[in-house]
Amino acid sequence: MDIQEAKEEIKRTLRAYTQKEPDGSHYRIPVQKQRPILLIGPPGIGKTAIMTQIAQEEQVGLVSYTMTHHTRQSAIGLPVLKEKEYGGKEYSVTEYTMSEIVAAIYDEMEETGQETGILFLDEINCVSETLAPVMLQLLQNKTFGSHPIPSGWLIVGAGNPPEYNRSVREMDVVTLDRVRYMDIQADLDIWRTYAAQNDIHPSIPAFLTVYPQSFYQIGQTELEKTFVTARGWEDLSCILYAYEEMGETVTEHLILQYLHSVGIAREFFLFYGLFSHYEQAYRENYPAATRENAEKLKTAGAGECMAVAAVLAAQVIGRAQDWGAYGDLTRYITQVVKDYQEGKKPCLVKDIDGEITRRKNALQVNVKHGLITMEEEEKEEALLYFLEEWQQEAEMEHAGPASAYILTERLDIRREKERELVEKAAVCMEEAYALLEHVPVGAARQYFTAALVQDPACGRFLAEHPQEVFTRQSGELLVSRQEEELRRQVEQMV
């Protein structure tokens, strides 16, 4: 099973476990029959990442713990003496305070108002000897010590197979018979989709198209352990973006800190050098630079061709993202000022000023209490800037109630700019495909087209503004993939 399949199965399980009878009296699947999920797979493939994604997409709570950081006391609580009466006599009896982990669930429920959620326990099969029985009790009975996990909360445990971690404890059949065991494997195709949706540095998926065997490796040489994981690639992406923004030099030594394989780190360093060279040339002189390099690329190797394809894809995607962000903001502004434009609200300067003040105050409150995302905050700030410009222009022209015409003019300016962004993206795509016609490696053209398809902003751009050159190339890509699948099926039959 790949990580995407596991994610979807966990989401289905969460819905099934929290589904109640029509009268709402109890769960359709009794709590004692709700098996915890146990994810076992190599390190760094995204087991932890999908938990956050599931919680966000399903709008449920999430409490995460790495169990190797805990002791028996922090898991089940501390012992306290209580006086109790048995058979007419008083005795001192040992009880336990509430588990830190169980308490964290109740804190999450109180802070978020979420009655359902996921308790994610990482490295669950690597706990200490004293904590192991507690983990088995949790998986079998959904309790920490004497404190049950709240109803409506799904337990998901994760761990690595023993070949990746010497601390792994083998679980007995009794325990495994009470959990849903999922064996997870690294999958490059699934990760490519994730990369497109999460702004992974474009040099990385392009490199992995040329060297797919470098995506995930864990081994042992005579001198050291070698390992390259999906987590390593994603973290490397973050530092590449940061270094580029600061103008710092990316060195092979830096890459080796994320890709713990001398061979793979060196190959990526050389590939990144090609990518950076073309990225700088095209950024400073696009599209003329593409024509200047056309002859040179006719004899280029696979790595260089793929680096160019990645740079060109990033150029087109960047323009599509500019169009999407600008257009979304225009529509947001239009919706907010619609009543002013249609005369349902007065357009006096004082009224515009009142709108600005009200929205500024609301924005401050939302930011202070964490009630707004960073994207929503940026959108609201851009709206305020638009309103302030409108207000200033109305004041200068003493427009009074007639300032609605200024508003219409400003919106028309934005729409014209949006049309210009569409044209820039279309020209950029046309130039890119023209250059790629000179590239001798067909996989580079296929990669370029696939990258455009996978990017959400670019996909939306092409849906709203179809481009003939893309339609033609995407048809060729589909035929190529069908042929590849047929070859694979034939090989399996032979």
What tens digit of pLDDT does each residue of 155-200 get? Answer: 898 888 777 666 677 776 777 777 888 888 888 888 888 888 888 9
Q: What is the pLDDT of residue 423?
A: 93
What tens digit of pLDDT does each residue of 238-279 get? Answer: 999 999 999 999 999 999 999 998 889 999 999 999 888 888
Fold of the CATH domain 3-72+105-185: Rossmann fold (3.40.50)
- pLDDT beyond 70 at 491: no
- pLDDT beyond 50 at 131: yes
Reference 459, options 444, 474, 475, 445; nearest CA is: 474
Q: What is the pLDDT of residue 490?
A: 39
Domain locations along the chain = 3-72+105-185, 187-284, 314-494
Which has more pLDDT, 117 or 298? Answer: 117
Q: Which of 147-161, 277-291, 410-424 has the lowest mean pLDDT?
A: 277-291
